[in-house]
Structure formats: C-alpha cells, structure tokens
Amino acid sequence: MKPDLFQAPDYYNLDELLTEEHKLVRNATRDWVKKEVSPIIEEYAQKAEFPNQIINGLAEIGAFGPYIPTEYGGAGLDQISYGLIMQEIERGDSGIRSTASVQSSLVMYPIWKYGTEVQRKKYLPKLASGEWMGCFGLTEPDHGSNPGGMTTNFKDKGDHYLLNGAKMWISNAPFAQVAVVWAKDESGRIHGLLVERGMEGFSTPETHNKWSLRASATGELIFDNVKVPKENILSNKSGLGAPLGCLDSARYGIAWGAIGAAMDCYDTALRYSKERTQFGKPIGQFQLQQKKLAEMITEITKAQLLTWRLGVLRNESKATSAQISMAKRNNVDMALNIAREARQILGGMGITGEYSIMRHMMNLESVITYEGTHDIHLLITGLDVTGLNAFK
C-alpha cells in the first residue's frame, strides 16, 4: 500500500469551531492512525482478520469509552471529541471504528447507563483498558430492522436466568469476553443481560466470506440453555427503548466516522488527479474530474457542519434520535457516493489495494446497512416530520 500522505480537508475552517482539547484529541488520533493503522490495514483486510495488536493502542488514545467518566476508566471527553476520534479511526478503516464503536457505545454505554454500580466497577475499567472486549447482540436471523420481534428469551429459574436463542451479525463476537444480550422475559419485555465467554451453552461462531468490513470480526451468538447469574441483568432500563438508546450513541459516532472515510477517499483522489497525466495534462485539469472533486468537497463540508452542530446539541443533551438518524443516513450515503466517484478518478488503480478507496467503498456497504439501514433512517425522518408511521 502507498504511504499515508493524508491531509484533512477543512474548506470552511471548521477548526475554528473546535476547542484546543478537541484539536489535541483529533490530532493525537490522526497521528496514531497514520502510525499504527495505515501501514497494516490493507494486509489485515485482505486476509480478513482483525489486528489484535492495536487493541492496547486504541485504549491508550481513549477510543474505548471516550465520554465515559474517568472514575470508570473512560476518557471523560465531550461528544465532539468522541466524534472526532471516530472520524479519525474510520479515516483509517470502518472496521476498526466498528470495534471501537461497539466497545464504547454498545457495551460500555449500556453498562454505565442501565447497569448497577457493582456492574460498572466490575466491567467498565476492563473494557476501557482493552483487557476485555465486548459485543452487542440485538439482531437475530429473522429480526434485523424489526428488533422488537426478537425471539431470544430467558426464564426466571429462581437463582438464575435460563437464556435461549441466537443473534446474528455481531461485531467483535468471535473474541469478546462479554456480550450485552437483548432478550425477552416471560412477559415479552426486553432486558439486557451480561453474558460472559465460558458460560456453559454459550458459543460465538465466526461469520466468514464477507466482502465488507473484512478487518472487523463478525459472528453469531448462540445461547443453548445458558445459566446467567441474576446479578448480570441490566436492571435500570428495560423495553426496546433500552437497546435503541445505545444505538443513538453509536449512530452519532458513525455520522462522524463516515466523514473520515469520505475525507480519505477525497484526499486520495485529489492527490492522484494532480499526479496522473493523460493526453498531456494532469487529469485534474479536465472539467469532468473537477466536477467530481468539487462536488465531493461540497458534500464533505456540508456533512462536517451538520455533524459538528449535532455534537453541540449532544453536549447540551438536546439532540433528538431523529436528528441523529438524519446525520447517520446523510453522512454514510455521502461517503459511499464519494468512494464510488473517487474510485473512478483512480481508473484501474482504484480497484487495487495500493489505495484505500475500494476498501472504504466495500466497508461502507456494511455501514449503510448496520445501526439501522438507509431506508429505516429515512422512515424515522418521515415519521418525525409527518407524525405518521410508515414502518408497519
């Protein structure tokens, strides 16, 4: 792979909207990605393997629980710093950002928000340091966009819960030590349970043959009469709103992350367009290529401003779920379109692993589907503006 020459586009001087702390966090993550992710990511994506050796580094830059209070091992940062960390990591690879998103927003967040003090103290420091990795089991083979239909269930057996069912498409599942699992009780109410590797009847087979997010490990969670200790229930919130509340936090991170992937594709294509000559001119001098580049930087700039504003609203606890959906949907779609256009600017070279663009493009096909598909987020906006539910 080519050396990482990334230079971040900032067409509207967005840096002026950031605090010194934001810039410090962003620049530290950017440097770390250049040093630790860029040199190895193509090899790991090609062999479809998560690079375990970067877990300690991710923990050190604060990517595991950026906004979780420091008393639990988190970095205690604000929502914009969290977003900037996700942006920079996804600039390197969406699969690595996925690992960090899941650990932070889908595992640490529910333990912090819905767990007991004993659970917080037991799990959060280990997750923040990367000593333990976690995963989040909501999706089932027959229930993806409609998680409320889940059939995974548990029964109260007096001194423990008996868990049965299966989850599919679970990021980090093959190596996670703890899974936050969403399951129905005997009355059909959804609860979160903390299921640890090693519990009898719990297995995590890996999902193979993905063309997307190849450097992220994905698997199933299978529960065959798993005895879960009663103290492992997340007791402070139940109902579908509990897992969906975690998704708000993760979707917000993805909105930032997608900008990172888009910036990398744009920057790569811009540099290539000035270096590559055809018909005696750099291809960047042809109007057709300039149209692509001009539209890319316009869309990136719009997304940066939208997402920064969302971060301000998140910091003030004023962002709605529907606003988060709009940003996730817009930014991932924007990034995917930019990846496709950028790939064309590189001609044949664009399909090779010499450049990051095709890897970003393939990754973004998962990102546009997980955490709520492109269609589902459109319907969330539609419901929000009309008050009319088009899901069912």
Which of ligand TGC, ligand FAD, none is residue 336 near (CB under 5 to 8 Å by kind)?
A: none
Mark residues 17-56: x for contact with ligand FAD by CB under 6 A, - for none: ----------------------------------------
| Segment contacting ligand FAD by CB under 6 A, of 22-30, 55-63, 165-173, 340-348 | 165-173
Q: How far is the CB of 5 from ligand FAD (least distance, A)?
A: 29
Q: How far is the CB of 27 from ligand TGC (least distance, A)?
A: 24
| Segment contacting ligand FAD by CB under 6 A, of 15-23, 83-91, 152-160, 366-374 | 366-374
Instruction: Give the per-residue SS3 of the chain.
Output: CCCCCCCCCCCCCHHHHCCHHHHHHHHHHHHHHHHHHHHHHHHHHHCCCCCHHHHHHHHHCCCCCCCCCHHHCCCCCCHHHHHHHHHHHHHHCHHHHHHHHHHHHHHHHHHHHHCCHHHHHHHHHHHHCCCCCEEEECCECCECCCHHHCCCEEEECCCEEEEEEEEEEEECCCCCCEEEEEEECCCCCEEEEEEECCCCCEECCECCCCCCCCCCCEEEEEEEEEEEEHHHEECCCCCCHHHHHHHHHHHHHHHHHHHHHHHHHHHHHHHHHHHCEECCEEHHHCHHHHHHHHHHHHHHHHHHHHHHHHHHHHHCCCCCHHHHHHHHHHHHHHHHHHHHHHHHHCHHHHHCCCCCHHHHHHHHHHHCCCCCCHHHHHHHHHHHHHCCCCCC
- Rule CB under 6 A: say whether 366 interacts with ligand FAD: yes
- Rule CB under 6 A: say whether 361 interacts with ligand FAD: no
Mark residues 125-154: x for contact with ligand FAD by CB under 6 A, - for none: ----------xxxxx----xx---------
Which of ligand FAD, ligand TGC, none is residue 270 near (CB under 5 to 8 Å by kind)?
A: none
Q: Give the nearer residue to ligand TGC in terms of CB position, either 38 or 363.
A: 363
Mark residues 59-98: x for contact with ligand FAD by CB under 6 A, - for none: ----------------------------------------
Q: Which residue ranges make up the site for ligand TGC (CB under 6 A)?
A: 98, 101-102, 136, 138-139, 145, 147-148, 171, 239-241, 244-245, 247-248, 250, 321, 370-372, 376, 380, 391
**Residues with catalytic function:** 371
